[in-house]
Amino acid sequence: MSELLQLPAWQALQQHYSKITLLTMRDLFAQNPNRFQNFSLEGNALLLDYSKNRITQETMQLLYQLAYESELSAKINAMFSGQAINYTENRSVLHIALRNQSQQAIYVDGIDIMPKVRSVLSHMREFVSVVRNGLWKGYGGQRVTDVINIGIGGSDLGPKMVVQALQPYQTKDLNFHFVSNIDGADIQSVLNKINPETCLFLVASKTFTTQETLTNAHTARKWLLDHYQDKKAVASHFVAISTNAVAVKAFGIDVANMFEFWDWVGGRYSLWSAIGLSIALAIGMDNFQAMLQGGHQMDEHFRTADFEKNMPVILALLGIWYHNFFQAESHAILPYDQLLSQLPSYLQQADMESNGKSVNNQGKTVDYSTGPIIWGQSGTNGQHAFYQLIHQGTHLIPADFILPIKSHFNIGEHHNILVANCFAQTEALMLGRTEAELRQQGIDESVLPYRVFSGNRPSNTLMLEKITPKTLGSLIALYEHKIFVQGVIWQINSFDQWGVELGKQLASKILPELSQTEVSENHDSSTNGLIDYYKSYYRSINR
Ligand code: F6P
């Protein structure tokens, strides 16, 4: 049995679980009128209500005990002090340094990294001001109207999510586009909309070797050169964000227009770095700094607050409670704000690429479940799609409801209706509806069983004042730290991603085979069969 399953707190939770399954939240709320006060927490312009969970004070005490026994405090200190906690790549994990607003030095290999961080921020500030003021000229002398971020994974999802979320702060002078997919439809649909004379491509890639990004960037480069017929035009229309100066130069991008970041920034934690250049161009550098400040405030909260008052820790422990004890396989992210519509996709990578691991820090296969499946959609759209299954299906799906108190769009009753729906959903999930209640309403006996809601379905509600650069920064950092805490408890490395390698390697082996005429023999019969079917069908329709 693994170390984790032998921890006294884990074993106690196992025992406690059988007691909890006998309780309903409906009863717990009826017995304790202060349940909301007892299980909610405010800070950093965020309110976390976790009272609608299948927990008692004892549950929480046992979960905190699990965090202590997992030496969480030491692990937090290890991250913040720059230790190489990404032990399979021998790297520090210091996205917190990118938003460090204190004068505190942060060391990697004995060198303070803060001067470099500040220097890139100044480079970004200078560039953002030049572009936003129309002083950056294309090769033909025109100002920029369209910014196209070419990147994938962490070099796409974070910036795309934030640019969308902070749309009310966006300059009207620039249009923003995000190209990620290798499918030519993605880049082509953007190229169709923009003018080569007024476009600016940001090639965002930590490694600058990612096939999708490089292929899209080369297609964009060719499109630009087809227009200008002069290679010198590349420098006026392309900038790079990368850790790989050699590859950037080889692409033809002036290294003076390269925005650097470092191997201690994980791709999925990189929106705070120069990878966030599209964000800074959209909302301006002061707003970008406000987002960093929001992130930093959450870092300070996470680093200093007792576990009992620590939002990321509480969210992480509740996640473990459902995932490992109730065997809930997934977790839904349900933002009640259209501006946050990309948040579920963003958190999908942040969480699933981080904690989708099955080997622990001792190199042993784990004997417990790790990372949940993260999914979701903005409310109220989700209500008319998958909430049926959350309410009456056979799966237990813990969910986070995220709601701003004030909307950026004051249109009639829209916001109140949205808010009412959000609260109603968490109430319905918790309370359910009994046969007796249905009878009282005069519901026909023949349909009674179909109309019962079992209830007792857990949710957290996160309320923030308004979506601003600062509150969004705090919200993102909250989830980053939640993911980290879960990784610590599961004793896995949340910061590598070896699981994406195999597919990449096999794709590069298959690619040349697609243009060969011989029958495929290099793979299993299914893969050979698919390759051959594709090739012969393709040839037959392209004669
Ligand atoms: O999906 C694998 C991955 O390495 C992610 O971790 C990363 O965000 C993405 O690819 C893009 O990588 P890069 O920024 O190096 O192009």
pLDDT tens by residue, 319-377: 999 999 999 999 999 999 999 999 999 999 999 999 999 999 999 999 999 999 999 99
E strands in 168-232: 175-179, 199-204
The residue whose CA is least distant from atom 3 of ligand 1 is 153
Closest CA to 263 of 113, 92, 105, 98: 92
Say if ligand 1 is within 6 A of residue 494 CB. Answer: no
Residues 195, 196, 198, 203, Cα dihedral to 10°: 120
Say if ligand 1 is within 6 A of residue 44 CB. Answer: no
The residue whose CA is least distant from atom 16 of ligand 1 is 205
The residue whose CA is least distant from atom 10 of ligand 1 is 153
**DSSP conformational letter for 144:** P
Task: Quote the pLDDT of residue 147.
Answer: 98
Ligand 1 center to residue 79 CA distance, Å? Answer: 21
Residues 278, 279, 280, 285, Cα dihedral to 10°: 180
Task: Quote the pLDDT of residue 236.
Answer: 96
Burial of 32 (0-12, 13-18, 19+ CB in 10 A): middle
Ligand 1 center to residue 9 CA distance, Å? Answer: 36
Say if ligand 1 is within 6 A of residue 354 CB. Answer: no
Ligand 1 center to residue 243 CA distance, Å? Answer: 12
Q: For the beta carbon of residue 470, count every other beta carbon within 10 angstroms.
A: 23
Task: Quote the pLDDT of residue 252.
Answer: 86
Would the CA dihedral through 524, 525, 530, 536 be positive or negative? positive
For the entire predicted model, the pTM comes to 0.97
Would the CA dihedral through 193, 194, 195, 196 be positive or negative? negative
In 3-state terms, what secondary structure has residue 232? coil
Which atom of ligand 1 approaches the CA of 275 most closely? 14
Which atom of ligand 1 approaches the CA of 270 most closely? 8
Contact indicator for 99, 265 with CB cutoff of 8 Å: no
Q: For the chain, what is the total number of helices (H) and then of strands (E)?
A: 24, 13
Ligand 1 center to residue 155 CA distance, Å? Answer: 7
Tokens of 335: 């933002």
Ligand 1 center to residue 295 CA distance, Å? Answer: 22
C-alpha 293/C-alpha 298 separation (Å) is 9
Task: Quote the pLDDT of residue 80.
Answer: 98
Give the active site residues: 353, 384, 504
Say if ligand 1 is within 6 A of residue 207 CB. Answer: yes
Q: Which single residue is written with the structure tokens 């923030």?
A: 464
Contact indicator for 434, 367 with CB cutoff of 8 Å: no
Mean pLDDT by 10 residues, the chain (543 residues): 97 98 98 98 95 98 98 98 98 98 95 98 98 98 98 98 98 98 98 98 96 97 98 96 94 91 97 98 98 98 98 98 98 98 98 98 98 97 97 98 97 97 98 97 96 98 97 98 98 97 95 94 96 96 88
Task: Quote the pLDDT of residue 254.
Answer: 87
C-alpha 240/C-alpha 131 separation (Å) is 15
Tell me which of 93, 150, 152 to substitute to probe ligand 1's pocket, judged by most ligand atoms within 8 Å of the beta carbon: 152
Ligand 1 center to residue 321 CA distance, Å? Answer: 30
Say if ligand 1 is within 6 A of residue 100 CB. Answer: no
Tell me which of 500, 502, 504 to substitute to probe ligand 1's pocket, judged by most ligand atoms within 8 Å of the beta carbon: 500
The residue whose CA is least distant from atom 8 of ligand 1 is 154
